[in-house]
Chain A
Amino acid sequence: MDLTIEERKQLKGFLANLYGPQVQTWEMNNGVFDLTYKMLSKSERCSDLMDLVPRPMPYGQSAARWLAKEVRKAILRQLKERKEHYTVCVKTLSLSMKTQFYMEAM
């Protein structure tokens, strides 16, 4: 299921905190959510957020489509409420994935 308007807003808010104002021009689509999910799941320091997710997720699945709507909502709500914490825990990973985000969002 595609992201709702509210979910897109929450995702954009988190990514803008990470990558700066350029994110305002990005399209918040399922691909961008999937990359964000990948980034969070790769970071050991964000493991508390991943506790919300039932595992294992089938390989190659889109997180935006596979995750139950409620789980996806809960992840985005956490990203909104603890934005600073999650920005810090993916800080270095976000740099290594920056061009991928551009490719998905443009």
Chain B
Amino acid sequence: MPTRDCRCIQCIVPPHILRHMLKSRNPRVRESAMRTLLTTTHLRAERLLLQRGGFLASVVAARRRTVFDCEHRESTDVAAVKRSEGGPKSPDRSVNDAYDGLGYTYDFWKGVFQRNSIDDRGMRLDGYVHYGNGYNNAFWNGRQMIFGDGDGVLFTDFTGSLDVIGHELGHGITQYTANLAYHNQSGALNESMSDVFGSMVKQWHLKQAAKSADWLIGADIFTPGHKGDALRSMKAPGTAYDNPDMGKDPQPAHMKDFVKMPDTEEGDWGGVHINSGIPNHAFYLLATALGGRSWDAAGHIWFGALKQSDAKADFAAFASHTYTVAVTQYGPASHEAASVEGAWNQVGVGIAAPPRSRTRTPPARARNRTRV
């Protein structure tokens, strides 16, 4: 498995050792030490500025959106502010779509999970549109949300898809909770959590019940003339697309079809975008078995399990956490606990040591949840 040694050096090696490394005969050691010292100095200065501004000491309880225009450069450093919180609409549709999508996602997390932005401390939501030329991607870089315009052949503007925005900001939520490692099963869980959150944000915005939702991810990012339906289907993994331009959707829906991939760029870090189909389908099965809205019981069980998980959680560990949360919230004999166990069973993931001795009385908040 490839490791990122620079990251370890930044975290652990104290400055006096780094300064000693600068005198090494090995040029790679000298270069690594210099880079680490420069990066550390930069971060220290950044933190100092933030502290002087009082940002670290206070928790902000309101939306703070800013949308920047990269003007087709592949850089966020020189992007211009095009719309900030409460500001007037822009003549640029991408700016407004990004602004609205960030707002809907913030409102979803605040209203449904009482979470104050990505870090639960009111973190700014910065979106960068028109990144690159015909750039076919959207991603979360750890602090910012980047949107490409798409090439206009296969993909169109990525700001036009609320589930994609919810997916990318979902990576931020995971980063600030379990911080699931982006490799193999924990990486597939990371991807799956983002699909679950992205789909819930869209369903919440559309006020859809679980049974009437499309459970597709990225259905809005294809050009109108293209046959692609979506990037992924949580309802039927492996069926989102099948055409000569895109190939065939490789997602499995069951552990018997788990795809073993190398933990490399070529191998999608162990198939993180492939095997996410398994926990995706488990969530779909749970939400539809419980009925009502996905963000009520099912969403709370999933997010509760994420908060209990550690960075190396695999499917079985996460499944056990979902069961623990369901039993704790609703009781061991509840429909919710049985449905969680049933959903994981249907995708071939066993739950280890179910805590059957817990209380049978569901708390008032869980009992009183509404259904549509």
Q: Do A and B bind each other?
A: no
